[in-house]
Amino acid sequence: MKPYDQLLRDCILINNYWASADRRFPVMNPATGDLIAEVADADTNHVVEAIGAAAVAFETWGKTTARSRSLILKKWYQLVMQHTDALASLLTAEQGKPFTEAKGEVIYGASFIEWYAEECRRTYGETIPAPVAGKRLLTIKQPVGVVAAITPWNFPVAMITRKIAPALAAGCTVVLKPAEDTPLSALALASLAIEAGIPPGVLNVLPTSDAASIGKVLCTHPVVKKISFTGSTEVGKILMEQCASTVKRLSLELGGNAPVIVFDDADIMVAVKGTLASKYRNAGQTCVCANRIFVQQKIYPDFISRYREAVAELNVGNGATENVQIGPLINEAGINKVRRLLFDATEKGAEVITGGGTHPAGGLFFEPTIITNCNDSMLLSREEIFGPVSAIYVFNDEHEVVRLANKTEYGLAAYIFTQDINRAWRVAEQLEHGMIGINEGIISHAEAPFGGMKESGFGKEGGYYGIEEYLETKYLCIGGV
Ligand code: SIN
């Protein structure tokens, strides 16, 4: 008996009905290689059925009061919180992150449900002073309609609630396609949503091993009014093209290449702790993970020696066991990518000072690694590492480091460590990245806007910005007053 058995669902959810399918696909535990479940594999017929169910449900859900939606979302939030341990152990089993980190994700995920349960009661329109007599100008906010959410494997709970909670709160209905590697957390969350009172058709979940075909139907179907996607820039561009045929609204949270900048005047331990937190969260598999760590010349020797000590203390292993900080990577492709980038970097002169290879804990485990002597000819200065490898660069002055930090097509998160408030402002304003951590390595909160610039995408999730993505602002002009 596993702690999550009660929440384990292995079917497609359409209209609050758990449907099977002709085909099933395996969901494996990346730490042990064990099979967790064989899940019904949704095909394009299921997508059309789910969109139909969401469209019918929108007719009523879109007209319910904000308060009634708020009450259901609050109940969902409470249920998720009550099942934190079970959800976290399921998350660890299918994704690999350590149990305490998984618990943190469940609580973080739940915070979006709580926040939007509150925020939906404040989606105010406005009155606008008219430029001519006899007219009254105003705006109202209305739900955009049926929304499709396509979510990644690295945060199987939080990336779902960050999209679905504001969508449902706004009055939209949802078709969710979770990642192939981690559909079980999505299905568990949905079962709690049903228990909370989400009506049939309002939330539909399509686990699938055929992301490309399902995604294409979602993007091209005229009834779907909005796509919210978190994933790679490469896939984001394909979805964007597909959405053009119906001029669909889009939110894209895509790849990142986060610079961390440690200035000479930084508080060294704050910088070490912040960089460590940003880099090694989820074994380096987040879009906001430190990808390039720039350290100023004077502080460099001290920073390296303390950072190395801290990295050496990280415990690698199965996330279900105690005192583990680094779990496995998600799959073979993930570990091969890390190996390829590391090989390229060392060929071009990088020096491995800690780690550097697979970990004895098993095939998908990689040692927490630090490489120095990095430069921008290396592939890892351009590509997301998505693994537990710290790539360290040295820099001389502020002007140089701002140029280097911006030398990427990505623009998601960046981090600055300095005790000079003027420098913090100056550099933050110059960085072409959508989110800046200043003396802080963990920046995401339900209350704040999460999102990127440049090829990291557009649209914000979180905060009051997050619900706007699911609302139309309609302008009314009343004449003859
Ligand atoms: C991500 O990696 O896309 C999400 C990270 C976060 O929410 O902090």
HEC string of the chain equals: CCCCHHHCCCCEEECCEEECCCCEEEEECCCCCCEEEEEECCCHHHHHHHHHHHHHHHHHHCCCCHHHHHHHHHHHHHHHHHCHHHHHHHHHHHHCCCHHHHHHHHHHHHHHHHHHHHHHHHCCCEEECCCCCCCEEEEEEEECCEEEEECCCCCCCHHHHHHHHHHHHHCCEEEEECCCCCHHHHHHHHHHHHHHCCCCCCEEECCCCCHHHHHHHHHHCCCEEEEEEECCHHHHHHHHHHHHCCCCEEEEECCCCEEEEECCCCCHHHHHHHHHHHHHHHHHCCCCCEEEEEEECCCHHHHHHHHHHHHHCCCECCCCCCCCCECCCCCHHHHHHHHHHHHHHHHCCCEEEECCCECCCCCCCECCEEEECCCCCCHHHCCCCCCCEEEEEEECCHHHHHHHHCCCCCCCEEEEECCCHHHHHHHHHHCCCCEEEECCCCCCCCCCCECCCHHHEECCECHHHHHHCCEEEEEEEECCC
Specify if 284 maps to a domain.
Answer: yes
**What atom in ligand 1 is closest to the CA of residue 412?**
3
| 346 shares its domain with 217 | no
- CATH number where 363 lies: 3.40.309.10
For residue 444, the CA-to-ligand 1 centroid distance in Å is: 7
13 and 205 in contact (C-beta within 8 Å)?
yes
For residue 442, the CA-to-ligand 1 centroid distance in Å is: 10
End-to-end CA distance of the chain: 69
Specify if 266 maps to a domain.
Answer: yes
Specify if 417 maps to a domain.
Answer: yes
Q: Is 288 in the pocket of ligand 1 (CB under 6 A)?
A: yes
**What atom in ligand 1 is closest to the CA of residue 444?**
8
| 121 shares its domain with 173 | yes
| 203 shares its domain with 274 | no
| 250 shares its domain with 263 | no
Q: Is 444 in the pocket of ligand 1 (CB under 6 A)?
A: yes
**What atom in ligand 1 is closest to the CA of residue 285?**
2
* Residue bearing the CA closest to ligand 1, atom 3: 287
| 62 shares its domain with 210 | yes
Q: Would residue 469 show up in a list of annotated catalytic residues for this protein?
A: no
Specify if 155 maps to a domain.
Answer: yes
| 206 shares its domain with 122 | yes
* Residue bearing the CA closest to ligand 1, atom 7: 444
Q: Would residue 253 show up in a list of annotated catalytic residues for this protein?
A: yes
Q: Is 230 in the pocket of ligand 1 (CB under 6 A)?
A: yes
| 473 shares its domain with 441 | no
| 247 shares its domain with 276 | no
Q: Is 418 in the pocket of ligand 1 (CB under 6 A)?
A: no
471 and 306 in contact (C-beta within 8 Å)?
no
| 248 shares its domain with 339 | no
Specify if 419 maps to a domain.
Answer: yes
Domain count, the chain: 2
| 202 shares its domain with 282 | no
For residue 170, the CA-to-ligand 1 centroid distance in Å is: 22
Specify if 351 maps to a domain.
Answer: yes
- CATH number where 209 lies: 3.40.605.10
| 292 shares its domain with 227 | no
Specify if 451 maps to a domain.
Answer: no
Q: Give the amino acid at 180.
A: E
Specify if 372 maps to a domain.
Answer: yes
pLDDT string in tens for the chain (481-residue length):
899 999 999 999 999 999 999 999 999 999 999 999 999 999 999 999 999 999 999 999 999 999 999 999 999 999 999 999 999 999 999 999 999 999 999 999 999 999 999 999 999 999 999 999 999 999 999 999 999 999 999 999 999 999 999 999 999 999 999 999 999 999 999 999 999 999 999 999 999 999 999 999 999 999 999 999 999 999 999 999 999 999 999 999 999 999 999 999 999 999 999 999 999 999 999 999 999 999 999 999 999 999 999 999 999 999 999 999 999 999 999 999 999 999 999 999 999 999 999 999 999 999 999 999 999 999 999 999 999 999 999 999 999 999 999 999 999 999 999 999 999 999 999 999 999 999 999 999 999 999 999 999 999 999 999 999 999 999 999 999 9
| 24 shares its domain with 64 | yes
380 lies in which domain range?
Answer: 258-446
